[in-house]
Structure 1
Amino acid sequence: MPTIYDNIERKLLEGLKESFRLAYRSDVCVGYLNLRGWGPLAELVNGFEGGDGKQCRVLVGMSKSRREELTELYAANGHHEPDQSDVARWRKRLAQDLREQLTYGTPSESDERALKRFAEQIRAGKVVVKLHLAYLLHAKLYLAFREDRFNPVIGFVGSSNLTFSGLQGNGELNVDVLESDAAQKLAKWFEDRWNADWCIDISKDLLAIIDESWAGLDRTPYEVFLKIVYHLSNEARIGLATYEVPPLFRDKLLKFQADAVRMAARMLDKRGGVLIGDVVGLGKTWTAAALIKLIEQTEFRGSMVICPPNLEDMWKWFKKEFEMKLEIVSLGAVRDAEYLEQFPRPKLLVLDESHNLRNPEGKRYKAVREFIHRVECKVVLLSATPYNKSFYDLSAQLGLFIDPEEDIGLRPNQYIADLGGQHEFEAKHQTRPQTLRAFEHSTFTDDWRDLMKHYTVRRTRSFIRKHSPIDPADGKPYLEFQDGSRFKFPERLPKAFKYGFNAKDPNDQYAKLYSSAVVDIIRQLHLARYGLRRYIDGAAESQASQKELRIIDDLSRAGKRMVGFARTSLFKRLESSGWSFLLSLQRHILRNHLFVYALENDLDLPIGIQDGEGIDEILGDEDMEKLAEMSVDEHGKRYTENAALLYKALDIPKNRKRFKWLRAGLFSDQLKKHLLDDAGQLHHIWTMGKDWDPAKDKQLNALHRFCTKENPDKKVLVFTQFADTAMYLHEQLDVRKVSRLDVVTGNRNDPTHAAHRFSPRSNKQPEIAGTSHETRVLITTDVLSEGQNLQDGHIIINYDLPWALIRLIQRAGRVDRIGQTSDKVYCYSFLPEEGIETIINLRGRLRQRITENAEVVGTDEVFFDGDPVNLHDLYAEKSGMYDEEGDDEVDLGSWAYQIWNEATASDAELRKRIENMPDVVYSTRHLPVQETKAPPGVAVFVKTAQDNDLLTWVNGSGEVVTQSQFRILKALQCGPEEPTAERVTGHHELVKTAVRHIHENESSTGGGQLGKKNGARYQTYNRLKVLFEKDRSTLFENRALKETAEEIYRFPLRERAKDLLNRRLREGITDAELAELVLALHEDGHLVNKPEDGTTELAQQPHIICSIGLKAGR
């Protein structure tokens, strides 16, 4: 009686081991070959000598797809004999299937040993594999030829394929064949098929597949790193290959600008929006203008630009010059979505200087966001400084076109890990982790960097220089225009222009103000108007109306942050100019008296005037001059009288609607006391400098000397933080007859005209150049730090010093722009000859006060808006301090593409080798210098089921070290000289653990399979759904469409299908055409990424691209 092997009571593998123990050769026939499944048989055949009659022969049946089977079943001529073209096609398909087979799942030590053993046995002639092509063969047969007189041939026939599951895992049905005659007949049956005409030897094919796989040839760390950047640069490469720069712009753009156009176009199609964030001076406007023209030519629809008022003229020039279908709207004119809807519906909306839209509660923000969602347009954000006050700035700008609760397939992994995991995150925030809302809770830079890489094209000046060709004549990098002309970035030279200042001189009018005594007073001010919530009376609040409670709630949110703002603002004005400081003291005193007047007369208090917005338009300069002329004795009386007049001016209907109002009865008596206390202290400071004499202003005198005696003919661009200082300087230099002088502040209606007068050549204004209308000395606030070309000059002066280095860098970028003809840009900072330590100490004391009182929340740009300015470096004119950020500020796609392109541009063999390198490959390197304190382990690179690339670094225990993409990439980055280190112990198990971490995070989020609403997957699914629900009479077609739609919902689209669908959707494909296209892609197996077995679980698993082990030491 035969023995049944069902893998339940008896395992087939056990029977094979017993039978093969005395075997000298074997024959195996299976319908499917699993390369990793060779492990169980490897030991059984390893003792064979090899060669004819002493080897294991494996016959594999060629499986066919369901479509091929149906086609053959219903074909009119039935089965047909294969020909050479069939053989070539099936052989190629099998090879491809086997290559893909080795990339599924996670690798293991046992799999690697089995594959290596399989390859060794093929090379030694111990194993030969043939592919049977004459007809479909599903047979499963195992024959052992033994040195045994009683059982020379033992056979096993049944259902088990040559896989782990077939041999011992799955429930199967197999029987042994011991009877000699039956066994010989099975042997003959096998022999006939082995020697059939259409049975081809594929042993060498298998050998090549294994050698090319992760279990074959050793890869260097450099090769695997290049594979990572190849995949990370995929979107950039697709953009460069798919989109063309409009003809009108081809001879206008530099290569890096043209690249940005193509990459941004790709992001627009994939994500619906893009932030172009190149640093100041790299031509973001040109990039955006070319994108507008590209959309116009491909979508046959116009665009809209919303920009600050001072940039309208510039956009009008682009519209005229390049014949654009473009609506230009001033941000200042935007009040609601209805205002925007009077214009033609744009296909593309460009938001120039988009950082101006970072307050979701603002009217303009709400209007723009509502308009975007109504017209469903694509969005381009333009900003060199998208991040200013906090990461919330980035969220706000992305939120213009992304629903905060929409599943974006990305998570703030660092923050979630810091909280202790996803459950803790969801319990704390009650929001899904794969949303923009989730990112708003994160303060981790790496989380935001990982998010922004999907939406940003950003290059820095240092990045462009680093990756530009070098002129052998002088060794400097250059950019080349289409006409052959070259541009070289100038050198930024920090210069200290020193003026007399002695903090101990009793006759120095500025030293009297810039003193520890004055700073101590500023430190102790109550600044009650900026923290009104502290003065709300509890009993009165309980009786407040709903409208009043909402206003009080807004006061709570502003809180101490506004107090910090006011304190630093006063001190910054003191640093800027004695005159500006005195003027601001008067304004503070008057506004305090305004509140006192309202409290004493039981009137409503105007809320929202803390910074004086709106009041200065009502209270003119003449009024302030009258206040300045009054005597000390009449101080209180005059301020009270002016406060009464000011209140009456505010209380008229046209002015009243500018503010919110709260009853005086809601506030405690302490408010009035603190207002008067501060007014008295501020007046005391004012009396110290009330006799300010511009003729004795040493800093002003130094500026006058610089612009006349030292640089009488050169253009000079003077920056100050405050409009009061700018107007003061302009007035005083004008009195001193400085020629061709101009000033620009935020109150000026035509800053662009001022920029044209200062820099007519770079702004293409030949009618101004060389005439008396051309400005030589331009004094400006940072209003001209947005979007203006000022590179006719190469000297800038920081009259007062910002507290953050980024401000100095941005100012330098006004003249250090493409088109600058000077090889040097001089960046002067006005500094006292003595007293640097005084400045440092006074700044430190104020910073301490603000920190102690928690008056600044998070990273407020007013005080902590970046790396602080090192005054010692400025004083010493330290080289390089004006250089901008390094590679970590560049978008990941551009960074990866640049590395890929430079490595392979002149090495076609390397490019081909990396492009063809299969997935799951690995290598090992030592930890780089910057990570010597980090734990060794493995960095794994995967593509998730959400179609996102993700790097994860785990330590030797399988714990996540970091998921910061940029940190991991920096740790992996190396050159071809990097040696391959010995493999990390348990490498494959660590890879498996990392993948499990990723999969658990991905799979636990649920929902959101279709991605963005304007994506190919979302649009295709919903249009198919409408179509098959519309007409249920054609049952077969409905069923086919429904099944196809379900596949789209369950599995991600293949890249080629995604590109094709995106293109056809843009072209306006009809529903019927879309259905036909999708069905054809589905039938050909080209629609979705789905494994052969079709299991949802496997399809949702992260797909391993590669991994690199990281070892300690060298």
Structure 2
Amino acid sequence: MPKIYDNIENFLVKGLNDTLEVSHRSDFCVGYFNLRGWKEVAAEIDHWDGGERNACRLLVGMQKAPSELVREYFLHSDTLVVDNAYAVKVRKELAQEFKDQLTIGIPTETDEVALRRLSAQIKNKKVVVKLFLRHNLHAKLYLCFRDDKINPIIGYLGSSNLTLAGLSKQGELNVDVLEQDAAVKLAKWFEDRWNDRWCIDISNELVEIIDNSWASEKLYSPYHVYIKMAYHLSAEARFGINEFRIPRVFQERLLDFQQKAVLIAAHHLHKRDGVMIGDVVGLGKTIIASALTKIFEDDFYLETLILCPKNIVPMWQDYKHKYQLRAEIMPISLAQTKLADLRRYRIVLIDESHNLRNREGKRYRAIREYIALNASKVILLTATPYNKTYEDLANQLRLFIEEDKDIGIAPENYLRESGGPIEFQASYQTSPRTLLAFEKSVYPDDWRELMRLFLVRRTRTFIKDNYALTDETNGRKYLLFTDGRKSYFPDRVPKRVTYSLKSSDPDDQYARLYSADVVDRISSLTLPRYGLGNYLDQSGEVLPTMQESIIQDNLSRAGKRLMGFARTNLFKRLESSGYAFLLSISRHILRNYIFIYAIENKLELPIGGQEANSLDEFLEDLDDSYLYDEEKKISLLFTGEDYYRLAAEVYEAFAGYLNRKFDWINHALFIEKLKTDLKDDARILLEVLNLGHDWNPAEDRKINSLYNLLTRKHSKEKILVFTQFADTANYLEKELTRRGLLDFANVTGATENPTLFAYRFSPVSNEKPEYQSQGKELRILISTDVLSEGQNLQDAHIVLNYDLPWAIIRLIQRAGRVDRIGQQSDKILCYSFWPEEGIERIIKLRSRLTQRIGENADVVGSDETFFEGDRINIENLYNEKAGILDDTEDTEVDLASYAYQIWKNAVDQDKSLLKTIPDLPNVVYATKAAAVNDFYKEGVIVYTKTQDDNDIMALVDASGEIITQSQYAILRTAECEPAEPAMEKLDNHHNLVAKAVSHIIENESRIGGQLGKKSGARYRVYHQLTRYYEEQKGTLFATDALRRAIEDIYKYPLKEYAKDTLNRHLRTGIDDQTLAALVISMRDDDKLCIVEEKETRYREPQIICTLGLKDESGSITGNNTAALPANNNQTKG
């Protein structure tokens, strides 16, 4: 009787190897051959001599998938015709099949050894592999030839393929063939097929496949693996560049880096319905966006609605005319009144989109509703994607992304911190793969991963390093226009201009104000109008109306935050200009007296409208003087009686024709202390005001220094003067006019057409020759930050900061107003005003204010720390240190652009990489020296792609613990030069890869699917049964069947039958136990979820490549000394 090998009682692998051990050759015929499966028999064949009579002959049939067999049955009723063309085709297909085998799964040391052994055995003629083509061959036959006169041939016949599963892991049915007549017949059967004309030798192909796979004995270049990472990470950028074409009208207008931005943005917009163009100031976002809209006009016949600040509407109208855009341009301020009645536009372009940070505002809601109603694609333009929190960024994305939409990725770092996806979903009742989930994260790497899908952002430094040419005559970097013009990159040079400020001089009117005494007085203010919620009467004697209740809620939310802003804002005005400060103090006193007047006369209190209560609206420097007629415009008064009389007049105007500009609330809803604190603050402010009662502009030493700079040091050059406040700008205009200065203008938020003044100041860069004539062109332009958005001002190369912002980024952005494409000067001079005595007074007073505000538990400034809390920054600025005003680091560059540039620079340097890198097999690995760092000595970088097509990277240390999953940080860690030497791999390289992939699989599997809307059956059933299961743990009701049903609901969508059935029962209020039984029953009948076969069979991520980092202390030859940037996933933003 033959012996049965079923891999249960008897394992084929053992029987076969026992026989091979005493054999000198063998013939195998299998329907399927897994290269990794060769390790099961390789050792026994290794000791054979090789050659025709001492080798293993392996015959592989062309086994096909069942679906393909069925298809062929209906397509080919007659016999398959085999010819050379068919043979070549099948040979290629099988070669690809073997290649694909080696890219599946996680590499192991055992697999690597076995594959290398197979390659060597084929080369040494110990193994010969042929492919049988005449017809489909499914036979599974193993013949072993021994030097035995009685049983020279032993065969094994049955169902097992030459795979690990077939030989030992899965149930099979095989028998041994010992009877020699049968064995000889089987040997002849094999020989006939082996010698068939359409049985072709593929041994060399297998050797080539193995020797060019990750299992090759050659050492792959670390540089090639690094470039492979960049190649795959830049896929979005490369697809966009190949997918679209620049419209003809823009081809000669756009520089190379701008064209790349257009094409990458087009890919994002087409694929995801939204894109944010976030290049830093001066790189041409407007023309990039114009070209982008033109692509969608030409290719998809879409029209565009452009929403932008009122001051740059004329600029957009110029672009519309110049490039014949099919677009409607609307000031964004009209959105809440005009959008509801506007016809459908399929593209909405929002310029300066960072102004839409507050999603509670009416304007935001109007724009969001228009986009949703019309299913519009959205283009966002901003040089500052977020101000201080990632919520700013999220709110802009919310304009076109539903908060609960599955976006395919999750905030991995935050999920790890919060206990994982299941815990996250239980806490927040939302899927981890949503924008709502990302809003919970404070990790920069999470947001970098999210914005990879939507953001195109490059910095000036990035463009300079990657796109600029070098002028050999002077060494300067420049960009080349298609017409031959050169646009140079100037150096930003910080300069100081000083003015006298002496506290010991009684005649120094500014020194009297800019003092510790005034700072202490500002700090001591109660500021009751900014914390009205603290004065509400809780006794309940007077009940508010419904409208007043809403107003009260808003007051309660303001409180302490606005107090800190108000104090800091007063101090900033003091630093800006003595006169502007006095004017602000005067307004503040008047507003207090308006409240005092209303309370004493038992009148309603005027409160800023609900939207004006928001912090963002308050921070805008809105000049309230527009509320008054010209004759009643606020002037400096110095007694409480004068202010009380004026308050009565102003209140009458507020209650009359200006009534609708305010919310109104009963004074009786507040306690008496409100009036007391209002009067106390008014008294303190009057004392401060009287310190400057004799303010004389002619003796203003700061404006005198400005005048000297404008008329002597730079008497012929264009100068852009920035101030933070309209009061200061108006004061400078009035005083410089009095002194006879010509050819200058002042632009504030109240200016009707700021763009016109930009044209007059910079006609060349704006292509407006009509403004170059005498009397029209301006030499000096004074402006608030109203001109800091979207204007070309690069005819000038001098910027002067009349007041010093607290954040150095503001200075960098202002320099960017003139440091733009087309700037002709080799230097941008950036002046800042400083007291002659130095910086100590400024630092001391700002620190004093910060300390006082902190003691009051208020919020400092506009969420700014003075110069980011870094004294070195302000000292460097004062000492005119080069580089202090350059762009921030290139960590701001979007990952797709960054990776694409690595790829592009590499292939520009070596064209052969265009073939070499795409041809590198997946799972390939290399090893390089690890740079010196504080995080690890050795480790492995693992780059994978999930079944959902998400790129996931991990850097693990020598113990397999994840150090970071930041793609940017890992790419920087992998960075190396072409000459980087390849090293032998770490002994545990493959084990570390396995641990990293295990982390990735665990995260992916736990994230699962999208439960849908909270009102949907899937969402409700999942949460009801999860709660029930937890309550019943430890009882008979918490069954494995219920657990598996809950897991299926979480992972897979419901079938329509299940939706209908569950919705019907949910409406009737089904109880937990009955629902559990119903769901289990539906699962058993395969009526519950849509479970994809391929998903259940294989969810392992594809390994793209890995890079070992080896500790070679004392012999490191690599150049990467920044092994791990600070933005790893353990660092919160």
Secondary structure of 2:912's counterpart equals helix
1:130, 1:194 within 8 Å by CA — same for their partners in 2? yes
Partner of 2:257: 256
Q: Distance in 2 between matches of 1:904 and 1:845?
A: 56
Is 2:741 the partner of 1:738?
yes
What is the match of residue 1099 of structure 2? 1100
Give distance in 2, aligned partners of 1:232 and 1:732: 57
Segment of structure 1 superposing worse, 967-976 or 775-784: 967-976
* 2:772 is equivalent to residue 769 of structure 1: yes
Cα 1:376/1:625, change in 2 over 3 Å:
closer
Q: Does structure 1 residue 413 correspond to structure 2 residue 422?
A: no
Task: Give the residue type in structure 1 aligned to 2:106.
Answer: T
- Please name the residue that 1:619 is paired with: 628
After superposition, the C-alpha distances for 1:660-693 in whole angstroms (9 at most, x for unaligned) are: 3333333333333322222222221111112111
Q: Which position in structure 2 is the counterpart of 1:849?
A: 852
Residue aligning to 2:961? 959
TM value normalised by structure 2: 0.87
- Structure 2 distance, partners of 1:662, 1:865, is 40
Secondary structure, in 3 states, of the residue corresponding to 2:675?
helix
Q: CA deviation at 1:939?
A: 1.8
- 1:307 aligns with 308
**Shift of residue 851, structure 1, vs aligned partner:** 4.1
Would the aligned equivalents of 1:389 and 1:865 in 2 still touch at CA under 8 Å? no
2:912 to 891, 909, 914: 909
- Aligned equivalents of 2:740, 2:955: Cα separation in 1: 65
Deviations 1:373-412 (A, max 9, x none): 1111111101111211321111011110011111111222
Q: Which residue of 2 aligns with 1:640?
A: 644
Q: Does 1:9 align with 2:13?
A: no
State the Cα distance separating 1:625 from its structure 2 match: 4.7
The residue correspondences of 1:141-540 to structure 2 (distance < 5 A) are 141-216=141-216, 217-336=218-337, 339-340=338-339, 342-467=341-466, 468-540=468-540
Give 1:995 shift: 2.0
> Number of matched residues?
1028
CA contact (8 A) 1:568 1:862 kept: no
How far apart, in 1, do the equivalents of 2:857 and 2:1005 lie? 40
Compute the displacement of 1:614 (Å): 7.9
| Worse-matched range after superposition: 68-77 or 556-565 | 68-77
**Partner-residue secondary structure (3-state), 1:976:** coil
* Residue identity opposite 1:801 in structure 2: L
CA distance in 1 between partners of 2:633 and 2:151 (Å):
116
**Cα displacement string for residues 298-329 of structure 1 (whole angstroms, at most 9, x for unaligned residues):** 11232111111111111111111122211111
Which whole-Å CA distance do the structure 1 matches of 2:427 and 2:855 have between them?
28
For residue 847 of structure 1, give the secondary structure of its aligned residue in structure 2. helix
Q: Partners in 1 of 2:539 and 2:2 — Cα distance?
A: 95
Distance 1:1099 1:344, change over 3 A: farther
Please state how far the C-alpha of 1:581 moved relative to its aligned partner. 0.6
CA 1:110/1:76 → structure 2, altered by over 3 Å: closer, same or farther? Answer: closer
C-alpha contact 1:295 1:347 (8 A) present in aligned 2: no
Shift of 1:416: 2.3
Q: Which amino acid aligns with 2:809?
A: I
Task: Work out the CA distance in 1 between the residues paired with 2:276 and 2:798.
Answer: 31
Letter in 2 for 1:843: R
* 1:589 aligned residue: 589
Q: Is the 8 A contact 1:803 1:869 kept in 2?
A: no
Identify unmatched segments of 5+ residues in structure 1. 1012-1048, 1052-1090
- How far the C-alpha of 1:863 sits from its partner, in A, is 6.4
CA distance in 1, matches of 2:67, 2:421: 43
What does the per-residue CA deviation read over 1:156-202, in whole Å, with 9 as the maximum and x for residues that have no partner? 11111111111111111111111122112111111111111111111
Corresponding position: 1:695 with 2:698:
yes
The letter of the residue matching 2:536 is I
> Separation in 2 of the partners of 1:809 and 1:732?
28
Match of 1:137 in 2: 137
1:1111 aligns with 2:1106: no
Counting only pairs closer than 5 Å after superposition, residues 962-1111 of structure 1 correspond to structure 2 as 962-1008=964-1010, 1095-1111=1094-1110
CA distance in 2, matches of 1:507, 1:317: 52
For residues 34 and 857 of structure 2, the distance between their equivalents in structure 1, rounded to whole angstroms, comes to 64
Q: Greater CA deviation, 22-31 or 597-606?
A: 597-606
Amino acid at match of 1:152: P
1: CA distance, partners of 2:1097 / 2:914: 31
> Secondary structure, in 3 states, of the residue corresponding to 2:329?
strand
Q: Which residue of 2 aligns with 1:823?
A: 826
Report the CA distance shift for 1:425/1:842 in structure 2 as closer, same or farther (over 3 A): farther
- For residues 776-814 of structure 1, the C-alpha deviation after alignment (integer angstroms, 9 at most, x for no partner) is 111100110001111111111011111111111111111
The DSSP-based 3-state class of the residue aligned with 2:770 is coil
Cα distance, 1:621–1:35 mapped onto 2, change above 3 Å: farther
Are residues 76 and 753 of structure 1, via their aligned partners in 2, closer, same or farther at CA, if it must alter by over 3 Å? closer
Letter aligned with residue 347 of structure 2: L
Deviations along 1:953-1010, one digit per CA (max 9) or x if unpaired, are: 2223332222222111111111112233442342222222222222222232333499
Q: Which amino acid is 1:244 matched to?
A: R
Tell me whether 730-739 or 512-521 shows the greater mean CA deviation. 512-521
Identical aligned pairs, as a percentage? Answer: 50
Residues 794 and 60 of structure 1: CA distance in aligned 2, closer, same or farther (over 3 Å): same
Amino acid at match of 1:246: P
Tell me how far apart the structure 2 counterparts of residues 30 and 595 of structure 1 sit (CA, whole Å): 94
Q: Which residue of 2 aligns with 1:558?
A: 558
Aligned-partner Cα distance in 1 for 2:151–2:459: 78
Q: Distance in 2 between matches of 1:196 and 1:1009?
A: 57
Secondary structure of the corresponding residue to residue 1100 of structure 1: coil
Which residue number in structure 2 is paired with residue 92 of structure 1? Answer: 92
- State the Cα distance separating 1:132 from its structure 2 match: 0.6
- Note the aligned Cα RMSD (angstroms): 2.4
Partners of 2:396 and 2:255 in 1: CA distance = 28
- In the alignment, the residues of structure 1 paired with residue 558 and residue 936 of structure 2 have an alpha-carbon distance, to the nearest angstrom, of 40
Residue of structure 2 equivalent to 1:705: 708
1:403-439 CA-to-partner distances (Å, cap 9, x unmatched) read: 1111111222222223343344334433322111111
Structure 2 distance, partners of 1:78, 1:859, is 81
The question of whether the paired residues in 1 share the 8 Å contact of 2:808 and 2:867 is answered with no
Q: CA deviation at 1:1105?
A: 0.8
Matched to 2:436, the amino acid is: R
Render the CA deviation track for 1:716-759: whole Å, top value 9, x for unaligned.
Answer: 11000000000001100000001112000011111001111111
Amino acid at match of 2:626: E
Deviation at 1:296? 0.9
Amino acid aligned to 2:812? I
Alpha-carbon distance in 1 for matches of 2:425, 2:559: 28
1:346/1:867 Cα in 2 relative to 1: closer, same or farther (>3 Å)? farther
Q: Deviations over 1:575-631 (max 9, x none)?
A: 1011111111111111122223333344333333775958432235654554x1x44
- Separation in structure 1 between the aligned mates of residue 900 and residue 76 of structure 2, nearest angstrom: 52
Between the aligned partners of 1:114 and 1:19, the Cα distance in structure 2 is 20
CA separation of 1:778/1:326 partners in 2, compared to 1, >3 Å: closer, same or farther? Answer: same
Output the CA distance in 2 between the equivalents of 1:546 and 1:934: 62
Q: Offset at 1:887?
A: 1.6
Are the aligned partners of 1:27 and 1:56 in contact in 2 as well (CA < 8 Å)? yes
Unpaired stretches in structure 2, ≥5 consecutive residues: 1014-1050, 1054-1090, 1117-1133
For 1:850 and 1:114, the matched residues in 2 are separated by: 71
- Counterparts in 2 of 1:858 and 1:374: CA distance versus 1, 3 Å: farther
Partner residue of 1:674?
A: 677
Q: 1:35 to 1:873 in 2, by over 3 A?
A: same
The alpha-carbon distance between structure 1 residues 90 and 645, as it changes in their structure 2 partners (threshold 3 A), is: same
Instruction: Choose the corresponding residue for 1:834, options 825, 837, 842.
Output: 837
Distance 1:545 1:865 in 2: 45
Distance (Å, rounded) in 1 between the aligned partners of 2:440 and 2:413: 11
